[in-house]
Structure 1
């Protein structure tokens, strides 16, 4: 009888341990799926890592203070596109709605879909750099040899001049890198440059 009670207690204890392990593993799996969107949300809210903000419109009040914006463009080696800014830099008023242009051209013989990732440097300026409209918000599909204008509408929040941490920032560099989209219309990665 004592052996039966001991066996029952062991079974109950083992069941509790098993359920605890299943709960821990399930929680870890849930956190791994949630970590990417949570990290993206954290970066967007704080500007961490040079992540810019998204806005629907520029502020009403425009400051007399100005800041220089530089523009940078890169393309991943797996994407046979040319991509460049139409202007290298501009000086803008804080709070002013500005429009900058990039151009992209598909150098391959097939349609290809790309996606731009972006940030600003210095990284601490990210929370003050807001985009109103941008080609980077969506994937872009270019036909063979197609060249397109890619505008970005942005402003720099006047609060950047009041933050003790960013008062030394006189120039912000907006950088984009285009990558082949995972679900690119032409299919798997291959070298499709003409003459290649």
Structure 2
């Protein structure tokens, strides 16, 4: 290897330094690469995001879609699905609503994370529009209904290993926005 120094000790140092730099680079790249992997494959219940429903077929096969809502401990919102479930045909676009209420005496910005179970159904569950794509700010006592526009891809019917998927659960968890939490901490710690 011509790029390595001739001195044995210098060569070992160069190899170790290269390995250390590669490991640090891999550590920084791991989170974005993992997120990309989950979005592409649906791994871990990550749903697909679609620009539009290009399904030309709507099948007779149906699935029950259940809606679940939770929130971070201590997060002062009430958060719940407006309807607990609905039955949709594969390929059909549907809309569901969640309701959030700020029970505190201050404006709060929240953000939602989501997943789908069973995990193997996640690559077929596509959201066209969702409140989880942006942060939500609620004033004290304010309530809003937030839509989720989605469809279950008809391609799920193409393989027999998905025949047992008759129910899909869409779960959301609301957290206080990290920028909001950091700002509140700065405000608390600031000198009067």
- Shorter-chain TM-score bucket reads 0.7 to 0.9
Q: Does structure 1 residue 73 correspond to structure 2 residue 69?
A: yes
Give the corresponding residue for 2:190: none
Scaled by the length of structure 1, the TM-score of the pair is 0.86
2:95 is paired with a residue whose SS is: strand
Cα shift readout 1:105-142 (whole Å, capped 9, x = no counterpart): 11111121211111111111001100001011112122
Superposed, 1:24-173 pairs within 5 Å as 24-58=19-53, 59-173=55-169
Give the corresponding residue for 1:17: 12
Offset at residue 11 of structure 1 (A): 8.8
Give the corresponding residue for 2:184: 187
Please, which runs of 5 or more residues in structure 1 have no aligned partner?
1-9, 190-196
Scaled by the length of structure 2, the TM-score of the pair is 0.88
Offset at residue 79 of structure 1 (A): 1.4
Aligned-residue Cα RMSD (Å) equals 1.8
Give the corresponding residue for 2:189: none
Given that residues 96 and 156 in structure 1 are in contact (C-alpha distance below 8 angstroms), is that contact kept between their aligned partners in structure 2? yes
CA distance in structure 2 between the partners assigned to 1:169 and 1:122 by the alignment: 8
CA distance in structure 2 between the partners assigned to 1:136 and 1:70 by the alignment: 17
How many pairs align? 180
Larger Rg: 1
CA distance in structure 2 between the partners assigned to 1:26 and 1:78 by the alignment: 40
